[in-house]
C-alpha cells in the first residue's frame, strides 16, 4: 500500500473504488503509461489504485 505503479495494459471497463462503486467504459480515462498509487488490496488480485483523476479497481495483470 502506497507503492507507485505504472499501467501496462489499459482495462476495457473501469470500476470506481468508492463505497458505492460504478462501472464505466474506459474511453481514454486510464491509458498505458499512467502512474498511480496503490491504496488497497481486494480479493482475486484486484487492487485499488489512486490516479490523478480518481481511484479505480484495477486487475493486477494491468500494471507493474
- Confidence class for position 58, pLDDT limits 50, 70, 90: very high
Count of structural domains, the chain: 1
Q: Measure the CA–CA gap between 35 and 21, rounded to whole angstroms.
A: 21
Q: What is the DSSP letter of 7?
A: B
Q: What is the mean pLDDT of residues 21-47?
A: 95
- Confidence class for position 60, pLDDT limits 50, 70, 90: very high
pLDDT of the residue at 46: 96
The set of residues, in sequence order, having a beta carbon less than 8 Å from that of 31 and lying 6+ positions away, is 7, 10
Rounded to 5°, the CA angle 25-29-30 comes to: 105
Residue-number span of the structural domain to which 56 is assigned: 4-62
Amino acid at each position: 500500500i502506497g507503492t507507485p505503479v505504472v499501467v501496462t495494459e489499459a482495462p476495457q471497463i473501469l470500476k470506481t473504488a468508492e463505497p458505492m462503486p460504478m462501472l464505466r467504459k474506459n474511453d481514454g480515462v486510464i491509458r498505458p503509461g499512467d502512474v498511480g498509487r496503490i491504496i488497497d488490496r481486494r480479493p482475486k488480485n484486484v487492487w485499488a489504485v489512486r490516479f490523478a483523476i480518481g481511484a479505480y479497481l484495477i486487475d493486477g495483470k494491468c500494471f507493474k
